[in-house]
A and B are shown apart, each in its own frame.
Chain A
C-alpha cells in the first residue's frame, strides 16, 4: 500500500498570504495524484487532478505541482473561504489511498 504523508499537519496563515501544502508518497505515483478540499460539515471537493490540472470551476489561485513522490498544492493568495482541510489522494496503485490531511487555519 502506498502511504501518503502530508505536511504540515496544521498551517496557520492570514488572508492574502500564500499557502504551500506538501504531500509525499512512499513510492512513485507518477502524476496520478489529486487534491481535495473539505470544509466542516461538507463533502470533499476535487481541486486538482493528475498533479497539476485544476478541476472544473476551481479558481486559478489553486495550483498543483510535482511528480513521482513529491507534490505541492499552492494557494497563491488566501481567501477567507479557503480555510479548510486539504487531502491528497493517489490512484496509481490499488488500494487507492489518502494522506492524513492538512488543516489550513486562520492566523
Chain B
C-alpha cells in the first residue's frame, strides 16, 4: 500500500533553513506528481508546492515562492522541500501528498512533520 513518511521538521529561528524529506513506498514513485501541503496549528489547509513526476515542472504558492524549493530523487523514492528564510508564519505541519489519479488531487497523504519557526 502507499506509504508517505515525512521527516526533517523541528524548531528553527526566523531567517533559518530546513530541508524536509518524504520517503515513499508502495507505488512506482517516478510515475506520479507530488505535492507539499501545510497546516498551521488549529488552522486550515494550505497548498505549498507541486512537482511533476519527472521533475520538469514545479509550482509554488505565492507565500513561499523564492524561499522554498521542491525537488525529488526518483532513484531514492524521496521528495524534498528546501525551506530558506523561514518566517514565523511558516510554522505548520507539512504533509507530502500523492496525486495518484493524475487529476491534480491529493489521494494519499503522509502523517506530516511539524516545523516551528520561533526565536
Contact = CB atoms under 8 A, between A and B. Distances in A.
Nearest to B46: A98
Interface residues of B, number: 21
- List of 9 A-B pairs having minimum Cβ-Cβ separation, nearest first: A91-B104, A43-B109, A96-B47, A98-B45, A101-B44, A94-B59, A34-B105, A95-B61, A49-B105
Contacts of A89: 45, 47, 105-106
A19 B67 CA distance: 41
Interface string A10-50: 00000000000000000000001010101000011010011
Nearest to B65: A95
22 contacts: A1-B62, A32-B104, A43-B95, A43-B112, A44-B45, A44-B106, A49-B103, A50-B103, A55-B107, A85-B44, A89-B45, A89-B105, A91-B105, A94-B50, A95-B60, A95-B61, A96-B35, A96-B50, A98-B44, A98-B46, A99-B44, A101-B45
Nearest to B112: A43
Contacts of A95: 47, 59-62
A36 B109 CA distance: 12
Interface residues of A, number: 23
A87 B44 contact: yes
A55 B109 CA distance: 14
A38 B42 CA distance: 12
Contacts of A85: 44
